[in-house]
Structure 1
Amino acid sequence: MIIQPTSLAAMTWAGAASGTAAESWRVGAMLSARPLGMGEQGRMVLQIGALTVEADPLGIPLPSQFQVRVLAMGNPPLLEIIAGAGADPLVQRALRERLPQQNGYAPLLATLGALAQRPVVRQLPPEVRAALALLDQGVRTPQDLTRADGLREAIARSGLFLESELAQPRANPLPLGEEDFKGVLLRLAALLDRQPRLPAHVPASGADTPPPLRQRGLQAQPRAPLPLPLAEAPTEDDVGQLLARLRGDVHAALARIEIAQLDAAAAQAWMIEIPLQGAHGRDVLQIHLEHGQDTEAGGHTWTLGFALDLPALGPVQGELQLRDLRLNVRLWAERSATTERLERQFTPLRQRLAASGLQLDQLSCQTGLPQGHGQASALLLKATA
């Protein structure tokens, strides 16, 4: 988060930067902090040490007093809030290690789809082909996700819950690693790491996709082009480049899953991504699932948000809020033509919801994607003079 000093603190900040308060701002130092309220422009006003600074709202309550750790100096210095379970230093360190490594699923899915249609796959080692086949089986179809049991299965096998499932006794004789998306990625990564004559570190290909952190909100992710041509008759060097590309994309996808797992460690909320078989390509469905309490009426609430970028529809987002049997549905579409298409489905949707026993309080669709962030923070602060 970028923090701008208030006008009242400008001289104090200048003094800290010039060295008069440098000792208290050394790397690793712990500073006392407290919230002072909201500024004129809707920003939080915080006192950190001797400085008064403004910050974008975190979206989570802060205690009346807390501490921050100086992670890096310079302009801007980097501060870490030490407050609550979400600021577990081990979790925060693990997050910082994986954030530079992660990337979205789209590049991996593009390679996987191309390999399935080209003879180059026959030149890959047999064990790699078998692992790729398992990975391909983990790509869900739209028919899978339109059934309640299919969606439940896709979420359970998304990779986010692998370790908790491994800790439970299982009646299914099929190894969990052959069902779970993260388990298959781990198996494929181990096989690719053992391939000879591959570079030790291969960066992920494709665009830098924002990490699946709750405070970033939902991110509709388009398909990725395939930058590496998969020739019909590749040379041995071409196969080596392909394996190196695969390894980079697999490790980036694994880092992405682990970021979502770490981010969910201290909250009843999950960011889940499901590979989806679309028309002439693969897409990524992102889901935000959160369980909470209704502070006004009591009882429990469930919120399910989703984001999807389909070539025929463009980016689409939605949010479903369920309180007991009362349901609110809000949709957003970047294209006005997509808004019209969705609104034409409202009547049959209302009928299906009424038949299921739910009371629909709101059903709407707006053109333009929602702005803003989620209700959590990674608790990493950047202060700028």
Structure 2
Amino acid sequence: MKTYVQYLLFLPLWLLALGAMAQKEATNWYFGRRAGISFAQPEPAPLKNGMLFSEEGSAVISDAQGNLLFYSNGMQVWNKNHQVMANGSELKGHESSVQSALILPKPGSSTLFYLFTTDFQGQDHGLQYHVVDMSRNGGLGEVVSKNNLIFAPVTEKLTAVKHRNGRDFWVLTHRWNSTAFYAYLITANGITFTPVESRIGAMHTGDNGAAIGFLKASPAGDKLAVATWAPVNKIELFDFDNATGLVSNVVDLGKFEEAYGVEFSPDGSRLYGGKNGIAGGEARIFQFNLKAGTPDAIIHSGQQVAKSLSRKIGALQLGPDGRIYVARNSSGYLGVIRNPNALGPNCDYKDNGLNLGNQKSELGLPNFPGFYFHNLTPPTGYVVQQR
């Protein structure tokens, strides 16, 4: 009887873990100075076959079985054989843009993908879209349409949220010299070029450095977080309506000098944000408890949970193993938040968390939409403290 009861208790967790593992579009990562990671096995392992160089942003897509399809730094596209894809050069993104690229499947298609790119620091190329057809060239793909301007100028912020209907997507960015978020609806009919506009939060203006910093959505798609570099120097939290595309209810989480990366825990209960201090040298990670209650309680829940030996840290990115990976500038290691659902120091940050196998990271990690990591379970063996 005891064995049978234990089996029943274990079964729901096993099913949940199986469901989380079944979505493998984020299995392969390429970033930095030809660095990479494979999540094909239970423990992540470095990849040394990538051709990508990027000071900051990149994007990668694999199929539902975890097989690499293609990747980009916003300026070039490489196929699964690590060759420049047909017509995959001279894209008008920029590898020095924080979120230089984002890849989404076209709703209703098994072979077409949108590649969105951003220019750096609010420059003229703005937000562009490109179309990749994976049915071309024997499955190696071809960029069949490129450098299509959606809007300029925008900041370096670029993410996506799954629509409440479970089929379509919202692509989100932030207008430069403005308080406006733009949410573009992506359906089987294509891109709706008139965005849903939400004017809320800090003005992204002044020194072009204020265009720097991440925009991230929670895995459930109900929250947004924004980090804004100097001279704005802040992290903000918002509500997002994934049915209407509207952004609302700003919570200013305070001043963070040279704020750059932000990320949500897999269960959406915690928000992490990184800062570097003016000109670097104070690389720190802070955690906010989104279950604390009122906006004021969330603000006051903020606490430092990690510091890095690197002068600068960049992207914070959820992985398919439920951990958060931290880009350490010019380092052969990534930092790792090993138990991000846990409160405070129990999140278990390791600065030399993952050896990149003689390759080096810069400030960026691949830009994945949060919905790929919805309902991930914590890694086996870690105890999560909920409050």
Looking at secondary structure, tell me which structure has more strand per residue.
2
| Larger gyration radius, structure 1 or structure 2 | 1
- Whether TM-score is above 0.5 comes out as no
Looking at secondary structure, tell me which structure has more helix per residue.
1
What TM-score do the two structures reach when normalised by structure 1? 0.28
Structure number with the bigger relative contact order (C-alpha 8 A, sep ≥ 6) is 1
